[in-house]
Each structure stands twice: as C-alpha cells, then as structure tokens.
Amino acid sequence: MFEQLKAFFALHSLKFLAIVCGCVLWFGVVSRQEARAELELPLRIVNLQENMALVNPLPESLPVQLDGKALNLIQLKMNRSARVEIDLKKMPSGYHRLNNERLSFISPSIPDIKMLRVRQALNVELDSRIERKIPVQSKLQVSAANGYTLMGKPEIMPDSVYISGARSAIAKIDFVPTIETSVTGLKWNNSFSVKLDLSSIPSIVDIADTAVFAQVLVEPLDHKIFSDIPVRLIGNFERNAYSLSPSKVDVEISGGKELLSKINQQDINLYIEFSRFAIENTGELSPIVHIPYPIASWQIHPDKFRLIKNVEENYEE
C-alpha cells in the first residue's frame, strides 16, 4: 500500500505543486483586495460622568459592517482585538437615541479597517447615580447535632450592604438574599463566609460586597425546671372579681447549658388576656409565655387555666 502511494505521488508531484502554487497565488491576490465583512464586536462605554448611571444594560456586543483588505479582516476576526466604543461625555439624564458621532471603531493592532455602519439601533437611558444601603436577607438553614442547641438565629455580618446605580433602578431593590445554604450537625460555634445571590441585582447596579459572614453559636443542650411561676390575668376587668386557677405553674426550659445558668424566675413572664375567654368562648386557656433569651423550647405544667369568678361577699368586705 505504501509503495503504491509513493508511486502515485511521484507520478503526479508536478500537478500537486502546480495546484499549491496556484492556491498561494490566488490567496495572495484576493487577500490584497478590498472587501466587506460583518463581525460581532464587543461594546464598551467611555466617558460616563461619575454622577450618572445607566438605567438599563446595553448589549455586550454589536453587529458591525467593516471595510478593508480581506487579509486584514481575516486577521481581525482571529485576534479579536477590535471593539466599538460609545462616548457618553456630557450626556444628560434621560432617554437618548445614539448617532454615529457617539460611536467609534477601535482596532489598535490592525488600523487599516473602517467601520461602515452598525446594524443595530442603540438607545441609552441615563439617570442620577445614588448610593443606598439595603438589608441582607438570610437564606441559611442551620441545625445543631443531637444533644446540642443553637443559641438563636445565625448572625449575618454585615447585615446590610451598599449598592449604587441609577436612581430609578436602585429604588426597585429592597434587599439582597444570600444563596441557599444548609449546615447541619453543629457541635461548636462556627463562622463562615456566605455568598450573596446577585441574580436579583441588575448588571448595571454596583454592589460593595458579594459575600457576608455568618456566625452561629452552639451550646450543649440542658434542661432546667422553675417552680411556682405566677400566671397573670391582664386586661380590663374588676381585679377583685376574677382570678385564675391555678395561679402558679412549673416551667421546664430547654436550652444552652451556659444560657440556662443566667435565667432566673423573674425572667419568665406568663399571662392571659382577660378578653380572650369571651372571644374564644372557652373556660380554659393556655398562657402566653415570654422568656427574653434564645432558648430551644419550654413546657408548662399544668398548661391550661380556668377563669374563676370570686365570691361576691369576699371582695365587698
């Protein structure tokens, strides 16, 4: 097989050489001829005033018709060094239709090419640039390991970030969320970085931070019982005419071991609104429990209380 190919090329070598020389000659002639081509070129903004910002994003690239020697156009397409610049110098706020005077073709490596026209209409809207502070919305899902408890919700630091851009665009942004992140089985305090979800932030809006820190406090889980905690009856009623039965309860609190050591009986507030008995049309209610600490859970014993009308002669005396 090899000998047959060798003999074939030896027999027709002059023909192949003539074809190659013809192609080289043809390419040399054609590449020096003037030609036109349409290329997709990147778009850049220049001379935008510091106190102005885009209301809507411009396209990243534009279809442009170019004129030049064929070889130069081929090189331009291969090295991708050219671009189209939009000059926004001294352009006021408002809606504008861009003309050719604002557009420039930049080709530093191959200067002998001219831009004939842009095959897409360009409109730009400018507005005053402002800066605003918006809150960070946590999308974290955090849980402790068995036998441990979280000391409150994860703390986001910083809890707000600065954004800047066109006034009309900034006004529509109320918050920025973190990405959805799940952390489980924690046994000790943790601090870690969480990225912000920038999908809701337009590309023409600048944001100072793209990530925040989350701090999670964890303690071993413990239990503590507080006895004889009074339950108060509150609202508008004759104080001597009504009372609750029973009037005191035991409260069992679950939470961090160190935290429970700081809680005393005066921190536990239990109460029932007098009007609830009539609104809910019942003779027994569970109290509202307020404990100003990030505990894991609580239970009260008993958990229901009856409204008692005191004997009339007891309070007339």
Q: In this predicted structure, what is the pLDDT of residue 104?
A: 84
Residues 6+ apart with CB under 8 A from 279: none
Token digits of residue 275: 């009007």
Taking residues 96-101, report their average pLDDT.
81
**What crossing angle do the helices spanning 2-31 and 70-79 adopt, rounded to 10°?**
110
Q: Which two tokens stand for residue 24?
A: 């080289």
Is residue 231's pLDDT more than 80?
Answer: yes
- Please say if the pLDDT value at position 116 is more than 50: yes
State the pLDDT at residue 311: 67
- Is the pLDDT at 305 greater than 50? The verdict is yes
Q: Which domains does the chain have, with CATH numbers?
A: 30-121 (2.170.120), 129-216 (2.170.120.40), 222-316 (2.170.120.30)
Beta-strand relationship, 140-144 and 181-186: parallel
**Average pLDDT in the chain:** 84
Would you say the C-alpha torsion 19, 24, 29, 30 has a positive or negative sign?
Answer: positive
- Where does the pLDDT of residue 33 fall: very low under 50, low under 70, confident under 90, or very high at 90 and above? low
For residue 309, pLDDT over 90 is answered with no
Q: List, for residues 162-173, the tens digit of each pLDDT value.
A: 999 999 999 999
Residue 212's closest CA among 252, 247, 250, 179?
179
Q: Considering Cα of 146, then 150, then 156, then 157, what sign does the dihedral take? A: negative
Model pLDDT, residue 26 = 42
Question: What backbone phi and psi angles, to 5 degrees, belong to 31?
Answer: -65, -20
Residue 100, pLDDT above cutoff 50: yes
Residue 246: pLDDT over 80: yes
